Structure 1
Amino acid sequence: MEDLQNSALKFFSDQELCNADIVPPAQVRARIEVSVLNFLKILNASNPAISDLPLIQRKYSNSRVNHGLLTELSRVFLSNSISTRSLMRPNAAKAFVRVWKVMEMCYQILLQEKRVTQRELFYKLLCDSPHLFPSQTHVNRTIQDLVALLRCSRYSLGIMASSRGLIAGRLTLQEPGKEVVDCSLCGSSGFAISGDLNLLQRLVLHADARYIIIVEKHAIFQRLTEDRFFHQIPSILITAKGYPDMATRFLLYRINRAFPDLPILALVDWNPAGLAILCTFKFGSVAMGLEAYRYACNVKWLGLRSNDLPLVPDQSFVPLKPKDLQIARSLMSSGILLDSYKDEVAVMIQRGRRAEIEALYFHGYDYLGKYIAKKIVQSDYV
């Protein structure tokens, strides 16, 4: 069955789906060396030229949703449409040079057998080439360009995820040779998720939970852990404090693979951004380029949803902002939303308002746990 699932990932509507490989350092260095040699070969040819860099486009127009034939899991992939970085185009010249500069840095990192975060890489590049990398955004985009060029993951390039994630509840973690961490005893702050994917891969996991609950907001996560909600409903709570980073998604994926029978439920604000966060966990993200599909999980939407709005006092609703409407339009045009999710977005737009989870505190600080428990018992999630 697994072979059949994997083969289904290769093609969609007769188009090859692209992804970033997880490869050892020696192979990544070899890919970099081949790129350099090819560049020099064209530069030294009888008709010398500066070759463009062919990159897989990171746009929704180049994305496909691969719907599982044997499971409910759907994932976002990029197909073979190419964009280029060219030194000869004024608006792309700096981006072209940035790719080679980051490639050089990654080669050195791999030679030294080190790993760095994107933030650490930014400060190194800021010191070396401030005119090329004036902001973190330039570094992040260039890393994705390099992933698209070399077809290998960020982690394979020696770049670690900067994790914001926390986990708590009915789960124990153990790195080989070290003490067991009981995530139910970590207090209201939970256990900090490491950005080292290799370490997360080595963790030995044990759980007696019945559900996994993704919590959008740190404050809500703290409330639930403070109330020991995971004992009321045997569960694992996980938060990325907003849009998920790669490490949080990876650990969730590992837990899901270790305990595939545990439903994964998401508790997010009733607004376009909340749904976008859920969709990143559920489908992946085009913004992550060739790593878009990786670590997608079959997440269900627990709340807040439109059928919960009678619980929200009228004065707690907030008007949608232009950014909310922009996210809503992006979601509706993405091709990834389930029909029930589209209906929710349509209601948001029609009402022109959004609601936050904290609005449920109108009923008392202990109401949130009761609300979640009732929805779980009634299987009220989509």
Structure 2
Amino acid sequence: MEDACKSALNFFSDQQLCYADILTPPEVIARIQVAVLNFLRILTSPDPAISDLPLVARSSSNSRVSRGLVTRTSWIFLTRSFCTRSLLRPNAAKAFIRVWKVMAMCSEILGQGKRVTQRELFYKLLCDSPEYFSSQSQVNRTIQDVVALLRCSRYSLGIMASSRGLVAGRLLLQPNQEVVDCAACGFSGHAITGDLNSIDKLMMKTDARYIIVVEKHAIYQRLVEDHVFNQIPSILITAKGYPDIATRLLLHRLSHAFPDLPILALVDWNPAGLAILCTFKFGSIGMGLEAYRYACNVKWLGMRADDIDLIPAEALVPLKPKDIQIAKSLMSSDMLQESYREELTLMVESGQRAEIEALYCHGYDYLGKFMAKKIVRANYI
């Protein structure tokens, strides 16, 4: 523990680190203890004060996109700009206290050798400190604050991911002695575990030629039921919308285990679909400290502007105010490559969106043919 404390002291004096370390429980506990000691030292000094908590700022102005020089993968990262949580500012006082309460809970969890989900953590905090925690979003934001303060991954804090993800197709997984054949798991496929450590240790085998990320659960189910992974030798994966951490980590693992397999995304032609693709591809600003662990070189298969001619005009839907808001956010980011920016501009200028389901006008078995044609022609960006 003494060595861990020395390491933690060095950590708190070094403000160059702007990514989340993967740490052992003793190392995390040591960082928490050093944070407490620093706070008490300032509080009990000859000129006592209440120190602010310096957090790596999770904002667009503090984010950059690495343009992978060694690999083809780029990801969002955060630079050396800090924000604070202060007990002396009325609008930040509760957030300041929440950080300490979550750190105390994480120290307790790690000391017991346990792991909890964010939902479990919320209910425990709701019972213990209802005046500070009244919603899941408050807990989620505070966990991000603790990651930004201690600069260690949330899994290192003893917090498991709540996974919504599914995987199917030509993939064998070996989490322990048992081998899971993802092609023989029914039309739902195999549920992705929220245990990130288990995902890190998975043994995997495949004879697939592509990895296909599907935005929507219903579309994923259609593709699995039609055994599209046999027509297009592939692994199918979905997070049922915006990607959770566990699904992103599995995709990242697949990309490293099978670097020659193109990763292709099938999303709606709307700003939200592009935002989902970009989250898989680059990560998110909110998790910029951990993005390097989850980013993948994802290509955009469809839907895209050149697919709109395949569907009737009456199947197009007007953009909603939220779509415009997402589009403005994406446009203001420097992560969009020019071809993606052009697609987004076309969406906004047309004022319309197209959902994948619109292709069913050609029949329920058309989707596989649509994808196969685009893949054979390498029609992805």
Scaled by the length of structure 2, what TM-score is found? 0.95
2:323 is matched with 324
Partner Cα separation in structure 2 for residue 57 and residue 90 of structure 1: 20
Letter in 2 for 1:192: A
> What percentage of residue pairs aligned between the two structures are identical?
71
2:40 is matched with 40
Shift of residue 292 of structure 1? 2.8
Q: Which residues of 2 match residues 88-167 of structure 1 at below 5 A? A: 88-167=88-167
Residue 85 (str. 1) matches residue 81 (str. 2): no
Letter in 1 for 2:103: M
Number of residues paired by the alignment? 367
1:50 is matched with 50
Residue 339 (str. 1) matches residue 338 (str. 2): yes
Partner Cα separation in structure 1 for residue 82 and residue 167 of structure 2: 39
Residue 252 (str. 1) matches residue 243 (str. 2): no
Partner Cα separation in structure 1 for residue 287 and residue 353 of structure 2: 27
Cα pair 1:163 1:194 within 8 Å, conserved:
yes
Shift of residue 16 of structure 1? 5.7
The DSSP-based 3-state class of the residue aligned with 1:110 is: helix
Partner Cα separation in structure 1 for residue 133 and residue 321 of structure 2: 29
Shift of residue 332 of structure 1? 0.6
Cα pair 2:63 2:288 within 8 Å, conserved:
no
Letter in 2 for 1:254: R
Cα pair 2:95 2:142 within 8 Å, conserved:
yes
Shift of residue 104 of structure 1? 0.3
Shift of residue 48 of structure 1? 0.6
Letter in 1 for 2:57: Q
Scaled by the length of structure 1, what TM-score is found? 0.95
Shift of residue 72 of structure 1? 2.4
1:374 is matched with 373
Larger mean Cα displacement after TM superposition, 69-78 or 181-190: 69-78
1:233-278 deviation line (CA, Å, top 9, x unaligned): 1000000000111100101111111100000000000000000000
Residue 24 (str. 1) matches residue 24 (str. 2): yes
In structure 1, stretches of 5+ residues that fail to align are 1-14
Cα pair 1:144 1:289 within 8 Å, conserved:
no
Partner Cα separation in structure 2 for residue 193 and residue 168 of structure 1: 10
1:59 is matched with 59
Letter in 2 for 1:151: R
The DSSP-based 3-state class of the residue aligned with 2:293 is: coil
Cα pair 2:268 2:356 within 8 Å, conserved:
yes
The DSSP-based 3-state class of the residue aligned with 2:248 is: helix
Shift of residue 71 of structure 1? 3.0
Partner Cα separation in structure 1 for residue 65 and residue 178 of structure 2: 41
Partner Cα separation in structure 1 for residue 55 and residue 130 of structure 2: 24
When the two chains are superposed, the root-mean-square deviation of aligned CA atoms in Å is: 1.0
Instruction: Provide runs of 4+ in structure 1 moved above 6 Å.
Output: none
The DSSP-based 3-state class of the residue aligned with 1:236 is: strand
Partner Cα separation in structure 2 for residue 69 and residue 203 of structure 1: 28
Letter in 1 for 2:300: W
Cα pair 2:76 2:288 within 8 Å, conserved:
no
Shift of residue 64 of structure 1? 0.6
Partner Cα separation in structure 1 for residue 104 and residue 17 of structure 2: 28
In structure 2, stretches of 5+ residues that fail to align are 1-14
1:74 is matched with 74
The DSSP-based 3-state class of the residue aligned with 1:213 is: strand
Partner Cα separation in structure 2 for residue 127 and residue 289 of structure 1: 31
Residue 226 (str. 1) matches residue 218 (str. 2): no
